[in-house]
Structure 1
């Protein structure tokens, strides 16, 4: 029989690592989003004058919708892997578990917001 790991949230070092990890993942997703919007605004053509969104090229729309979403998804899955590894070694896994769920929630929110890009096509 195995013993369950105590569900501790008081490990400061693990919390800081998880928070830093989430910050890097969210920062990477936001960086891709901002770079895509700036790239699309700089390459604006005459066909974009009547568009309702700033990103009117098809490639820009797909990048804006799916690349940050993919970054957040992979970040959430990576946090779950870290939670599993911490659980296997008897460490503080609930912090990583919570980080994974938070990143997946951010992914769903961003995907819902970015779906507007395709509504105006």
Structure 2
């Protein structure tokens, strides 16, 4: 028999920490995306006739896989934190939810950003 914590979401301090963590991870991923797009816009003269703003191959890889990797690592970090909180007997489902939210954002971002590799 396990001594599992009740799955309540009423721990406001843990909810705040998990929310700030997830927000910071999403913010860093969006910041990398914005920096990549700005970098590509500054170097636009290399491929002025391209339909997609990010036209150079390295820029496309960074645009697609950089934020995806950040969201993946952030989601895995939230799951590790959920395990640590569970071991202490705390309210772990909040961190578990943050991990699943970050992995969901990762899949959505990856699906949308793969258009960068679509043939034009």
* TM-score normalised over the length of structure 1: 0.96
- Offset, 1:50: 1.9
Structure 1 counterpart of 2:111: 112
Structure 1 counterpart of 2:35: 35
Structure 1 residues not aligned, in runs of 5+: none
Structure 2 counterpart of 1:83: 82
| Aligned partner of residue 45 in structure 1, secondary structure | helix
- Offset, 1:87: 0.5
Regions of 4+ moved over 2 Å:
none
Structure 2 residues not aligned, in runs of 5+: none
- Offset, 1:52: 1.3
Structure 2 counterpart of 1:4: 4
Structure 2 counterpart of 1:69: 68
Structure 2 counterpart of 1:103: 102
1:62-87 CA distance string (max 9 Å, x none): 00000000000000000000000011
- Offset, 1:21: 0.2
Measured on the aligned residues, the alpha-carbon RMSD in Å equals: 1.0
**1:7-18 residue pairs with structure 2 within 5 A?**
7-18=7-18
| Aligned partner of residue 115 in structure 1, secondary structure | helix
Q: In the alignment, is the contact (CA less than 8 A) between 1:52 and 1:120 conserved in 2? A: no
2:119 and 2:18 map into 1 onto residues whose CA distance is 37
